[in-house]
Amino acid sequence: MANVDAPFGLRPIATINGGNYKDSIIQVVALDSYAVDLFVGSPVKVVGSSDASGKFQAVELAAAGENIDYIITSFLPDFENESLNTLYGPASTERQILAVPAPYTIFEIQASDTIAVTDVNSVADITAETGSTISGGSTVELDAATIATGSSAQLMILGVTQARENDDISSANANLRVRINESNLAFGSNGV
C-alpha cells in the first residue's frame, strides 16, 4: 500500500540506550527578536544568547545543512501576554519551548521521496520548514535527494519505521527512524 504524504517534522520515539526520551526534555526559548515561526517537530539550533534571566538557551530554526541541537515537542502558554496558544511559536514573539536534545535520541521523520534498502545507515539533510499555523506541526522531511555515504549530513538513517503507518520502503514518503548526526551538542559521523 502506498504511503501517505503527510510530513510531521521530527518526532522523538526512543533513545539510543533504550531509555525514555521524555526524561531528557528541557526548556529553551525563542526570543522576540527572531522573526520566524516555529512548530512542533521543528529542528532548532542554539544561538549565542539566552532569555533575559539567562536561564534558558535561545534557539532558532535549523536550516538544511546546519547543526541540529534540539527538536521542539511543545510550547508553553504565554501568560504574560495572555496568549494561551500553544500550537506553534509565532514569529517575533518570545516563546518558552520544551524540546528534546538531539544527541542520543532516535526520531521518526518522513522521507521526501522514495529511498532504497541500501540507504539504511546513509546520511541525509532535511528539507526547508514551512510548517502549519493551523495544526502547529512541522513540515520538515528527510531530503531523499541528499542521501549519501562516506560524508557527513544532518541525519543518519537507522531504518524504516516499525509502526504500520507509512512503512512501505518501495513507495515515496516512507517514515524513517533517524538519529541527528550534526549537532553542537555531540560529534557527527560519516554515513556507511
Write out pLDDT tens, residues 103-133.
Answer: 889 999 999 999 999 999 999 999 999 999 9
In a domain, 185, yes or no: no
On whether both 89 and 26 belong to a single domain, the answer is yes
Range of the domain at 149: 105-180
7-44 pLDDT, tens digit per residue, is: 999 999 999 888 889 989 999 999 999 999 999 999 99
Does residue 185 contact residue 15 with C-beta atoms inside 8 Å? no
User: Residues 6 or more apart from 62 whose CB is under 8 A from it?
Assistant: 43, 44, 45, 68, 69, 126, 154
Residue 81 pLDDT greater than 80, yes or no: no
The span from the CA of 55 to the CA of 27, in Å, is: 9
Q: What is the model's pLDDT at position 185?
A: 84
**Nearest residue to 152 via CA among 186, 117, 115, 181:** 181
In a domain, 8, yes or no: no
**Most distant CA atoms of the chain, gap in Å:** 52
Does residue 40 contact residue 136 with C-beta atoms inside 8 Å? yes
On whether both 52 and 109 belong to a single domain, the answer is no
Q: What is the model's pLDDT at position 83?
A: 65
Residue 67 CA from chain centroid, whole number: 11
In a domain, 6, yes or no: no
Q: What is the mean pLDDT of the chain?
A: 89
Domain count, the chain: 2
* Domain end (from 101, 124, 147): 101
> In DSSP terms, which residues pair with 26 in a beta bridge?
99
Cell of 146: 541528499
On whether both 132 and 154 belong to a single domain, the answer is yes
In a domain, 2, yes or no: no
48-60 pLDDT, tens digit per residue, is: 888 888 889 999 9
On whether both 114 and 75 belong to a single domain, the answer is no
Residue 45 pLDDT greater than 50, yes or no: yes
Q: What is the model's pLDDT at position 138?
A: 96
